[in-house]
Structures are given as structure tokens and as C-alpha cells.
Amino acid sequence: MTTASYRRIVLKLSGEALSGEQGFGIEPNVIQSIASQVKEIAELGVEVAIVVGGGNIWRGKVGSEMGMDRANADYMGMLATIMNALAFQDSLENFGIPTRVQTSIEMRQVAEPYIRRKAIRHLEKKRVVIFAAGTGNPYFSTDTTAALRAAEIEADVILMAKNNVDGVYTADPKFNKDAKKYDELSYMEVLNEGLGVMDSTASSLCMDNNIPLLVFSVTQEGNIKRAVLGEKIGTVIRRK
């Protein structure tokens, strides 16, 4: 009998992770592969909360670089995460996993508003909860959302699923073949060395609230389960 190392997790899925090779839009095969991996861990009894990004559709920063008002551009980014959340909910439900989407910006016709206690109740009833629309505030990221929600629901860990890299490296492995993968890091090292794991707001929030983070590749089938079973994959970041 396999036992999970965690009771409750936050899985951070970037928009890029849902778009697969093409890097844009939503790729049904990729979503299905990730949903089937989520099914595996839900069947282990792990309580699963998911924070979805939106970078496969729109990033606020890009809009503001084109001359848009930053807050407006960020709201568009938050709306993009809702589209991803609905797509992922659909895929999870096709696998028979009861799933609820909660949004930080109210959109009652399509999803529940974010209510912390209700989210926890869903998790206790073994429903997967997808948190969409980020924090609901411009100038933040969905990585920060993952840190915030993980603290609020008292998750044991954040699993940060990447689609093109299997952990944190000394340099970008795509461009530098001498780049070495870290097995473990502290949040202070991530912040001091400016390692591109997550933005500094998200790293600080994780550090201050003592939330460990595992960065790993979701492209390899079964990796979410490996992560949940505590196998040594990816890079672990914690407060030291």
C-alpha cells in the first residue's frame, strides 16, 4: 500500500504547462495527461487544491509594455486564468473527479466566489478545488496566489509543475550545458541569487509562512504521484 507524504497540497500549474509544446493556448492532450496524474493522487486520498496561471493566453506585463494601463492588463491576465480553470475542471470531471472552481473575482454564473472555509470543506470532502483569477489584485502573480492560498488552507507543500524543466538549475539548461540542477535550496538562496523559480513576492510569502515548495517536471507521466509519494525528484525549496 503506497502512502502519500502529504495530506493537503497546492499544485501550481502555469498557463505554459497547459499549452504544451506550442507555448500558447490550451492543448487538450496535455490537459488530459495532467488531469490523469491528478486523478492518481486524488485516489491516494490527498486533498488537492490547484492554482492555475494564465500566461498561455495573456500576461499583464506584455500588455503594459505595449502601452496598456498595467492594472487593466493584469485584470485580463486574471480572466485568462479563469478560462484555464474551466478547461481543467472539464478535463478532471471527464475523469470522474468532482471539482469546484473558485474565483477571486466574482463570476457567479461560471464558478463559486473564493471563500476560504468553503474551499477547505470541499477539500475535506475530497473534491479538487481550482483557484482562479489569481489573488484578484493587479501587480501580483499566480505564483504569489499559490503561496497565499497554500498558507490560507494550511497546505503541506506547493508542487510547482513545470513543462520544460525538471527543477532549479544554476543557469538556464537550455542555453548552458554546464548548468547543474539543485536538489535543495533555501528561500534565502533563491532570493539572494535571483534564481528564476518564482517572483520575489511569492518566495518571501513562502519563506515567511514556512511553506515548502517542490519544483518538478510535469511532462514525465506519473511525476505528480512521485512528488506526492515523497520520491526524490526536482528541487525542494524550504526555509532553512
Annotated binding site: 12-15, 54-55, 59, 74, 135-142, 163, 169, 172
Q: Are strands 213-217 and 235-238 parallel, antiparallel or unpaired?
A: antiparallel
Out of 20, 55, 167, 234, the only residue in the binding site for ligand UDP (CB under 6 A) is: 55
Q: Is 102 one of the binding residues for ligand UDP (CB under 6 A)?
A: no
| Distance of closest approach, residue 73 Cβ to ligand UDP, in angstroms | 6
Out of 37, 89, 103, 135, the only residue in the binding site for ligand UDP (CB under 6 A) is: 135
Q: Is 162 one of the binding residues for ligand UDP (CB under 6 A)?
A: no
Q: Is 78 one of the binding residues for ligand UDP (CB under 6 A)?
A: yes
Q: Are 198 and 160 in contact (CB under 8 A)?
A: yes
Out of 33, 137, 201, 217, the only residue in the binding site for ligand UDP (CB under 6 A) is: 137
Partners of 26 in the β-ladder: none
Q: Which residues are annotated as a binding site for ATP?
A: 12-15, 55, 59, 163, 169, 172
| Distance of closest approach, residue 138 Cβ to ligand UDP, in angstroms | 4
Q: Are 10 and 49 in contact (CB under 8 A)?
A: yes
Q: Is 140 one of the binding residues for ligand UDP (CB under 6 A)?
A: yes
Q: How far apart are CA 135 and CA 145, in angstroms?
A: 5
Q: Are 110 and 50 in contact (CB under 8 A)?
A: no
Residue span binding ligand UDP (CB under 6 A) among the ranges 28-36, 49-57, 166-174, 212-220: 49-57
First-to-last CA distance in the chain? 32
Q: Is 77 one of the binding residues for ligand UDP (CB under 6 A)?
A: yes
| Cell 475523469 sits on residue | 95
Q: Is 53 one of the binding residues for ligand UDP (CB under 6 A)?
A: yes
Q: Is 103 one of the binding residues for ligand UDP (CB under 6 A)?
A: no
Q: Which residues are annotated as a binding site for UMP?
A: 54, 74, 135-142
Out of 4, 6, 11, 14, the only residue in the binding site for ligand UDP (CB under 6 A) is: 14
Q: Is 20 one of the binding residues for ligand UDP (CB under 6 A)?
A: no
DSSP code of residue 114: P
Other C-beta atoms lying within 10 Å of the C-beta of residue 122:
20
Partners of 212 in the β-ladder: none
Q: How far apart are CA 29 and CA 82, in angstroms?
A: 19
Which residues make Cβ contacts (< 8 Å) with residue 13, sequence separation at least 6? 34, 50, 51, 52, 53, 84, 88, 161, 218
Question: Footprint of ligand UDP on this chain (CB under 6 A)?
Answer: 14-16, 53-55, 59-61, 74, 77-78, 80-81, 134-135, 137-138, 140-143, 145
